[in-house]
Structure 1
Amino acid sequence: MRQHNYFIYIITNAQRQTIYKGITNDLERRLDEHYRNRGKKGSFAGENSCYYLVYWERFQYVNHAIDREKQIKGWKFSKKLALIESLNPQWLFLNDEIVDE
């Protein structure tokens, strides 16, 4: 049986001033889309040049990923920052660590 992968992720800009939360079934492809859309008008992530991955979680079931994304989106900004720093205290850019499975 095929393993399904769904991801929630948080990206930021080069200055680490803005964060964007999202969900995808292909994290590598989605990060590439954010990179290609940097600086473009019409989307929050594009306008703010958010394409640096600082946090992600993987789920087998899409409904679990959706529930988690909704939970995180409902948090105050300070709680979102604490989540990132709990696993990535230096806010390292993790884009190069993403490999197709």
Structure 2
Amino acid sequence: MYVYMLTNPNRTVLYIGVTNDLNRRLAEHSDALGSSGRFTGRYQANLLVYFEILPDPTQAIAREKELKGWSRAKKEKLIVGFNPNWEAIDLETWTGPANEI
């Protein structure tokens, strides 16, 4: 299971989600760009900047809720520790850490 954070090109919005298939979910977010009925589409948030791998759905959902309760500053600090330049992560080429809790 994955908990992940997306942002938009201007890095002004953060979206936190949970999924069992991160590649599929990222494709779904990209397909929804421009869709005003969806948060990620309305705010163009499809750039993966952070993710964690968790062993089961219960832990992943709990972690998602925890992160959603954090301040923006605390979320930014977490991202910087994982991905210092807020680069859009391509899962095929990513050589940085994969957080596992």
Question: Same fold, TM exceeding 0.5?
Answer: yes
**TM bucket, shorter chain:** 0.7 to 0.9
Residue of structure 1 equivalent to 2:9:
14
Tell me how far 1:91 sits from its aligned partner.
Answer: 0.2
Q: Which runs of 4+ in 1 moved over 3 A?
A: none
Tell me how far 1:29 sits from its aligned partner.
Answer: 0.3
Tell me how far 1:38 sits from its aligned partner.
Answer: 0.7
Q: Which residue of 18, 36, 46 maps to 2:41? A: 46
In 2, Cα distance between equivalents of 1:48 and 1:84: 19
Q: How does 1:1-101 map to 2 (within 5 A)?
A: 6-94=1-89, 96-98=90-92
- Alignment gaps of 5+ in structure 1: 1-5
In 2, Cα distance between equivalents of 1:78 and 1:16: 13
Task: Return the TM-score normalized by structure 1.
Answer: 0.88
Task: Return the TM-score normalized by structure 2.
Answer: 0.88
Which one-letter code corresponds to 2:56 in the other structure?
Y
| Percent sequence identity over aligned pairs | 42
- Alignment gaps of 5+ in structure 2: 94-101
- 8 Å CA contact 1:38–1:47 kept in 2: the answer is yes
Q: Deviations over 1:23-65 (max 9, x none)?
A: 0010000000000101111111110011100000011111110
Tell me how far 1:97 sits from its aligned partner.
Answer: 2.0
